[in-house]
């Protein structure tokens, strides 16, 4: 019968322990991987998470935030410019190379927010232009370029100097109940005093 010394017995026990620990670890890892794989399959199957669809939605969302605007007239690089939704006329002007020295900025609203497919024409000082060429605004604005506070959108109101989200809502609420007979009536809206009215009176109309 083979006999082992106490030191040899201890060595054998250590080896056996390491072997058992190694196999146990492998089975443990395998079980974790299998569980995660099954959970991923379940999540994808019931529609809770679909990575490919999420990526497609991100692409679509980004596309929705891009607009194209046609700008011409007194700019150095007239043509089609690409901007993010929410950008203003001044941003389109900068992409078009900036204003020429003869540009009549008193007849355009550089602070106006832009929408997709909009046409902007920058007139020359003293230039006589047709109504079509003065269309630097959306259809909710008058041919003069002024915003009709009785019919315009919330976005058009927010393009006015000093008019933010809250004031735009108040204006819409007031016109729904009362309507604006004159541009001065807008001062009846809470938050619009004489100073703010002076800043927007030449940019609005009430019809």
201 Cβ contact partners less than 8 Å away, ≥ 6 residues apart? 183
| One domain for residues 167 and 126 | no
Structure tokens belonging to residue 1: 């019968």
Residue 22 domain-assigned? no
153 Cβ contact partners less than 8 Å away, ≥ 6 residues apart? 138, 140
The domain total for the chain is 2
Q: Whole-angstrom Cα distance, residue 26 to residue 49?
A: 29
| One domain for residues 98 and 118 | yes
- Does the pTM surpass 0.75? The reply is no
| One domain for residues 191 and 171 | yes
Kind of pairing, strands 147-148 and 204-205? parallel
Judge whether residue 77 has pLDDT over 70. Answer: yes
Half-sphere exposure of residue 56, counting CA atoms within 13 Å on the CB side? 5
Residue pLDDT, tens place only, 5-23: 777 777 777 787 788 877 6
pLDDT score of 66: 86
Q: What is the CATH number of the domain that holds 185?
A: 1.10.150.320
Query: Are residues 117 and 81 in contact, defined by beta-carbon separation less than 8 angstroms?
Result: no
Q: Whole-angstrom Cα distance, residue 60 to residue 22?
A: 49
Residue 63 domain-assigned? yes
Residue 17 domain-assigned? no
By residue range, what is the domain housing residue 92?
Answer: 50-136
95 Cβ contact partners less than 8 Å away, ≥ 6 residues apart? 71, 77, 81, 82, 83
Residue 5 domain-assigned? no
Q: What is the CATH number of the domain that holds 73?
A: 3.10.20
Query: Are residues 123 and 108 in contact, defined by beta-carbon separation less than 8 angstroms?
Result: yes
Mean pLDDT to the nearest integer, 128-152:
60
Residue 198 domain-assigned? yes
Residue pLDDT, tens place only, 156-188: 888 888 898 899 999 999 998 888 999 999 999
Judge whether residue 81 has pLDDT over 60. Answer: yes
Q: Is 123 helix (H, G, I), strand (E, B) or coil?
A: coil
| One domain for residues 62 and 110 | yes
| One domain for residues 165 and 109 | no
- Residue 82: in which H helix or E strand, if any? strand 79-84
Residue 18 domain-assigned? no
| One domain for residues 102 and 176 | no
| One domain for residues 152 and 132 | no
């Amino acid at each position: 019968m083979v006999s082992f010394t106490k030191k040899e017995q201890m060595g054998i026990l250590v080896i056996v322990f390491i072997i058992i620990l190694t196999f146990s670890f492998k089975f443990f890892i395998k079980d974790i991987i299998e569980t995660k794989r099954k959970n991923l399959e379940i999540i994808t199957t019931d529609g809770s998470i679909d990575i490919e669809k999420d990526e497609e939605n991100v692409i679509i969302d980004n596309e929705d935030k891009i607009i194209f605007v046609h700008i011409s007239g007194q700019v150095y690089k007239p043509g089609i410019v690409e901007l993010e939704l929410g950008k203003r006329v001044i941003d389109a002007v900068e992409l078009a190379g900036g204003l020429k020295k003869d540009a009549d900025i008193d007849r355009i609203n550089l602070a106006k927010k832009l929408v997709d497919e909009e046409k902007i024409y920058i007139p020359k000082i003293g230039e006589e232009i047709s109504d079509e060429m003065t269309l630097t605004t959306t259809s909710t604005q008058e041919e003069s370029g002024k915003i009709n506070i009785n019919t315009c959108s919330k976005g058009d109101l927010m393009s006015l100097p000093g008019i933010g989200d809250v004031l735009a809502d108040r204006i819409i609420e007031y016109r729904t109940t009362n309507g604006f007979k004159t541009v001065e009536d807008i001062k009846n809206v809470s938050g619009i005093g004489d100073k703010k009215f002076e800043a927007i009176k030449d940019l609005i109309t009430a019809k």
